């Protein structure tokens, strides 16, 4: 089966536009919530980004085909269904003017279905799951959970990929009553990943197979029989849509802000200035599998970026190195806002606040790729846009997270700055961020894409 590069399983006419060009900060936040709600999986996120790009006139490319690229034109390629690289070619060769790169990721920690979908226990049908990434497990209990992802199905013309999602809550992980867990408020809710996170999906009378029953249900979402499902990548998601909160709507909460919020900002930045040609080539890369280390065929630690940039740079052994030497990158992944109840978990002089503007993330042990020069680049962009910025350094005695920044910087040799918008409850099933932070980041990214060559 040859991989299909373009996610045709989601017709572009069925996906609404999310981008609020020229709109208010509130409209930018509303657009982000629509994008996140429509993207319960990396496959949906990549398909929705592709649909937005097609509407903007970008042309899909097949990695297995020869590419004939025109100057000042938009293109994109999808690898593995969950990663997408979009670019607008410059008016001149990248060998002479380089790339402006923005990178983010499409995946988020969640619970994913095993190959054998379901099991029976004590009169109930339960989904069989495995945690993906650094899930904040306790937040997944007592939530309305749906199932979404992709199915590989048998058709008359060969295997085909179809995206699916339930339109209602189909399962739930009930918490244990405090009467049976008296110490929970003192010791915290501790869940065993193997025994405690199997959601209840239905009563089960013991007839037939729960796996076949669930397969029939999911096959119905894709318009096929269970026997025609050849493979799947399915995961749970919170069916409750995003919402604003606070007396003045200063905040919003929704799933998967880490890192669909930065994927959205990068997409807004790329498309905001399509009418403005540049000599350099603008590139947006949205990777799958960041939350589990990026080592996959479509992750940031794969050949995806070097493959695409090599083809853009052109022939000659020195073409890509020359282009990289003229390039820079913004790695965009959400940042930790200071939590008023846990302020001691932050470094005392580096405490980003919600609605305080983009955050520059620095770690001298290169968990983030930022250095003095790349931080200066981003600060200058913020100054030019009249956007305030903030600084984050992880408390040295606490383990620091990581991003795609250092991975792609090391693979490509391109100077990189790590940035993100401040948020609370990272890796929770429902995360929070500031309403007034969405638009400024998109504005700065747009300015970066169309800024003058160095």
For the chain, the domains span 12-108+255-450, 110-238
Please give the CATH topology (third level) of the domain spanning 12-108+255-450.
Aminopeptidase (3.40.630)
How far is Cα 46 from Cα 92, in angstroms, rounded to an integer?
28
Residues 135, 145: contact at Cβ < 8 Å?
no
Element (H, E) at 253: strand 251-254
How far is Cα 174 from Cα 163, in angstroms, rounded to an integer?
28
How far is Cα 88 from Cα 70, in angstroms, rounded to an integer?
10
Q: What are the pLDDT digits (tens) for 163-217?
A: 999 989 999 999 999 999 999 999 999 999 999 999 999 999 877 899 999 999 9
- Which sign, positive or negative, has the C-alpha torsion 305, 311, 316, 320? negative
Residues 6+ apart with CB under 8 A from 48: 10, 15, 18, 35, 38, 39
Q: Does domain 110-238 have CATH number 3.30.360.10?
A: no
Residue 338 half-sphere exposure toward CB, CA atoms < 13 A: 17
Strands 422-424 and 431-434, bridge-based pairing = antiparallel
- Rounded to the nearest angstrom, the gap between the alpha carbon of residue 41 and the centroid of all alpha carbons in its chain is 9
Burial class (CB in 10 A: 0-12, 13-18, 19+), 167: exposed
Q: What are the pLDDT digits (tens) for 375-422?
A: 999 999 999 999 999 999 999 888 888 899 999 999 999 999 999 999
3-class SS at 168? coil
Structure tokens that stand for 431 in this block: 């995360």
Can you list the residues of the chain whose pLDDT is less than 50?
1-13
How far is Cα 271 from Cα 57, in angstroms, rounded to an integer?
10
State residue 198's pLDDT score: 96
End-to-end CA distance of the chain: 44
What's 337's DSSP letter? Answer: P
State residue 23's pLDDT score: 78
Q: Measured over all CA atoms, what is the biggest interatomic distance in the chain, rounded to whole angstroms? A: 71
How far is Cα 110 from Cα 293, in angstroms, rounded to an integer?
15
State residue 6's pLDDT score: 36
Residue with tokens 């110490």: 183
Q: What are the pLDDT digits (tens) for 438-450?
A: 999 999 999 999 9
């Amino acid at each position: 089966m040859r991989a299909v590069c373009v996610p045709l399983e989601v017709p572009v006419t069925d996906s609404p536009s999310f981008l609020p060009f020229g709109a208010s900060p509130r409209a930018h936040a509303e657009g982000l919530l629509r994008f996140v709600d429509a993207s319960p999986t990396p496959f949906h996120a990549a398909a929705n980004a592709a649909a937005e790009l097609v509407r903007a006139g970008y042309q899909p490319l097949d990695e297995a085909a020869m590419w004939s690229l025109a100057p000042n034109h938009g293109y994109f390629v999808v690898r593995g269904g969950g990663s997408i690289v979009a670019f607008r070619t410059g008016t001149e060769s990248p060998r002479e003017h380089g790339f402006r790169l923005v990178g983010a990721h499409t995946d988020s920690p969640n619970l994913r279905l095993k190959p054998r979908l379901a099991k029976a226990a004590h009169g109930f049908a339960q989904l069989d799951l495995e945690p993906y990434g650094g899930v904040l497990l306790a937040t997944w209990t007592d939530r309305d959970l749906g199932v979404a992802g992709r199915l590989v199905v048998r058709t008359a013309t060969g295997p085909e990929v179809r995206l699916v999602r339930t339109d209602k809550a189909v399962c739930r992980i009930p918490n244990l009553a405090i009467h049976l867990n008296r110490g929970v408020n003192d010791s915290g809710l501790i869940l065993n990943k193997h025994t405690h996170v199997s959601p209840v999906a239905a009563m089960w009378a013991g007839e037939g197979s729960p796996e076949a029953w669930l397969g029939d249900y999911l096959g119905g979402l894709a318009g096929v029989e269970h026997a025609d499902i050849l493979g799947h990548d399915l995961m749970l998601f919170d069916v409750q849509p995003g919402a604003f909160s606070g007396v003045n709507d200063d905040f919003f909460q929704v799933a998967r802000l880490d890192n669909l919020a930065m994927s959205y900002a990068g997409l807004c930045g790329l498309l905001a200035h399509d009418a403005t040609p540049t000599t350099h080539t603008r590139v947006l890369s949205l990777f799958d599998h960041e939350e589990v280390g990026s080592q996959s065929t479509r992750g940031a630690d794969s050949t995806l970026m070097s493959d695409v940039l090599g083809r853009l740079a052109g022939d000659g052994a020195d073409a890509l190195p020359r282009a990289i030497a003229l390039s820079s990158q913004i790695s965009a992944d959400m940042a930790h806002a200071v939590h008023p109840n846990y302020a001691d978990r932050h470094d005392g002089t580096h405490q980003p606040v919600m609605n305080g503007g983009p955050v520059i993330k620095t770690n001298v042990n290169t968990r983030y790729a930022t250095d003095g020069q790349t931080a200066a680049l981003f600060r200058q962009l913020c100054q030019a846009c009249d956007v305030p910025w903030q600084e984050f350094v992880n408390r040295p005695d606490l383990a620091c997270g990581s991003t795609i920044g250092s991975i792609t910087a090391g693979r490509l040799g391109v100077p990189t700055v790590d940035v993100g918008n401040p948020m609370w409850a990272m890796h929770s099933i429902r995360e929070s961020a500031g309403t007034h932070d969405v638009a400024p980041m998109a504005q700065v990214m747009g300015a970066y894409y169309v800024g003058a060559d160095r």
